[in-house]
Amino acid sequence: MGSSIISAISNLIREYVNILERALTFEPRGGEQVSPRIKLAESVAQQVSILANMSTLSKFLFIMVKSVYSSNVDGEKDSHEVEENSDVDQHQELEGFMLFLEESSQKLRTVFCQQLIARVSATYHSHEIFSAIQHSDQFDDNKVQYTMPSDIFQVLFLELRKIERIDEENMFELNWLIGLLRELMESMFTWISNNTQIYATQETNQFVMDVQFLVEIGMHGGYFSNDPLLLLTLMKSTFNSAGLDPFKDADNDGWAIDVATKTIQKLLEIEKRTSMQPKESVVNNEEEESHEIQSNQSAYLSEQDDDFSSSENNNNNNNNIDALDSKEDEVEKDELEVAIYEEGH
């Protein structure tokens, strides 16, 4: 039964991964319509949730299948029918299934990283926080005379920050989330290595600045704290992709490191200010709405006062008659209540 269970679950996982991939990419395949049952993951938090759910599901499935194999082996041991070859085969099947689950999760993570970078590459000009960067005093021109990091990498840093803030609500395991951020950083280094033609008409300083900025992002976020040599390896590989010597053409006098760190600090400041703006806007809107409501109420009451004043003189004579009728009604009501009380007693 073990092999049959693995085969059936593997087929289900393949189909499930295809569905999740479409949810991540927002795109139907071959012109087909996206099923209304597939909820598209439009926000970063939703996309990360898909990856986390797939990772958790993979762990549960492996534990479940492993327990099935263990129970089968225990039953065979009791009847003395187990053989060494059978143990080896089952172990290999389990390892193969575990590898399949890991590859399925990794496939989705790769799609997520590629989609994020592609989306930022196409839309970074209109990024809400980047518009604030363009209108802010980023640096003192008298102190810094060097190239700034490319816009796309500044926005990518802000996207990484969004993913970091997801953990503030303790929704995901910290080590898992850091691993995802590290993979995103690796994808960013790969992207710049595959697009070195962008720098063909620019000075070498821009390339050095962008690579150093990526290095500083990784160090600031602590994404490579468990393997700091990996960050150095990525930097060297990226320099080599552009035909540069990482030891000769790298930042020797520290200007790129200085600009990169200052850029990160300024981005964090702008991020903080921008995150506060919606709250202030809501407060202002509420105050304006409250003021408008009060104004409308005052206008309404004023109209009512005018209407009352204009009709007050016409109603003076009727008021005396109404008062007499009211008194007569009260007398008749009292007499009726007394009659009912006496009849009941």
What percent of the chain clears pLDDT 70, i.e. is strictly above it?
Answer: 63
CB distance 130 to 155 below 8 Å: yes
- The DSSP output letter for 136 is S
> Tell me: the pLDDT tens digits for 195-227?
988 887 777 889 999 999 999 999 999 999 989
Confidence of residue 296 (pLDDT cuts 50, 70, 90): very low
What is the average pLDDT across 165-180? 82
CA dist 16 to 21, 57, 335, 336, Å?
A: 9, 11, 83, 80
| Local structure of 340: helix, strand or coil | helix
**What does the block give as tokens for 284?**
């202002």
DSSP, residue by residue, 244-257? --TTTSS-SSSHHH
pTM for the model: 0.69
Determine phi and psi for 187, rounding to 5 degrees: -65, -35
Closest by Cα among 1, 45, 341, 320 to 164: 45
Q: Cβ of 252: how many Cβ atoms within 10 Å?
A: 10
What is the C-alpha to C-alpha distance for residues 112 and 49, in angstroms, rounded to an integer? 11
**Helical H segments across the chain, by residue range:** 2-25, 44-78, 84-123, 128-134, 151-166, 174-194, 204-221, 228-241, 255-344
Confidence of residue 36 (pLDDT cuts 50, 70, 90): low
Q: What pLDDT score does 320 carry?
A: 47
* Residues counted in the chain: 345
Determine phi and psi for 212, rounding to 5 degrees: -65, -35
DSSP, residue by residue, 214-254? HHHHHHHHTTTTT-HHHHHHHHHHHHHHTT--TTTSS-SSS
Q: Which segment, 8-17, 21-30, 31-40, 129-138, is predicted with the most confidence on average?
A: 8-17
Choice between 159 and 327, residue whose per-residue pLDDT is larger:
159
> Tell me: the pLDDT tens digits for 51-101?
999 999 999 988 888 887 776 555 555 445 545 556 667 778 888 899 999
Q: What pLDDT score does 154 carry?
A: 92
Q: Cβ of 339: how many Cβ atoms within 10 Å?
A: 10
